[in-house]
Amino acid sequence: MIIVTGGAGFIGSALVRGLNERGQREILVVDRLGSGDKWKNLVGKRYLDYLHKDQFLEQLLGGAFGEGKEIQAVLHMGACSATTETDADYLWRNNTKYTQLLATWCLDKGVRFIYASSAATYGGGEKGFLDDDAVLPELKPLNMYGYSKHALDLWAHEEGLLSNMVGLKFFNVYGPNEAHKGDMRSLVDKAVAQIQATGKLQLFKSHRPDFKDGEQTRDFVYVKDVVAVILKILDAPNVNGLFNLGSGQARTWNELAAAVFGAMGKAPAIEYVDMPEALRGKYQYHTRAEMGKLRQALGLLPIRSLEDAVTDYVKNHLIPDQRW
Verify whether residue 181 is a known catalytic residue: yes
Residue among 98, 145, 147, 313 flagged as catalytic: 145
Q: Counting beta carbons within 10 angstroms of the beta carbon of residue 184, is it exposed (0 to 12), middle (13 to 18) or buried (19 or more)?
A: middle
The answer to whether 12 and 56 are in contact (CB under 8 A) is no
Residue among 127, 181, 190, 266 flagged as catalytic: 181
Q: What residues form DSSP beta bridges with 197? A: none
The answer to whether 4 and 28 are in contact (CB under 8 A) is yes
- Give every CB contact of residue 314 below 8 A, 6+ residues apart in sequence: 188, 192, 260, 263, 264
Verify whether residue 145 is a known catalytic residue: yes
DSSP 256-317: HHHHHHHHTT----EEEEPPPHHHHTT--S------HHHHHHHSS-----HHHHHHHHIIII
Q: Counting beta carbons within 10 angstroms of the beta carbon of residue 79, is it exposed (0 to 12), middle (13 to 18) or buried (19 or more)?
A: buried
Half-sphere exposure of 212 (CA within 13 A, CB side): 3
DSSP 204-218: EPP-STTS-TT--EE
Q: Count CB atoms within 10 A of the CB of residue 27.
A: 21
Residue 239 CA to residue 190 CA, distance in Å, equals: 36
The answer to whether 171 and 121 are in contact (CB under 8 A) is no
Which backbone phi and psi does 303 adopt, to 5 degrees?
-110, 120
Active site residues: 145, 181
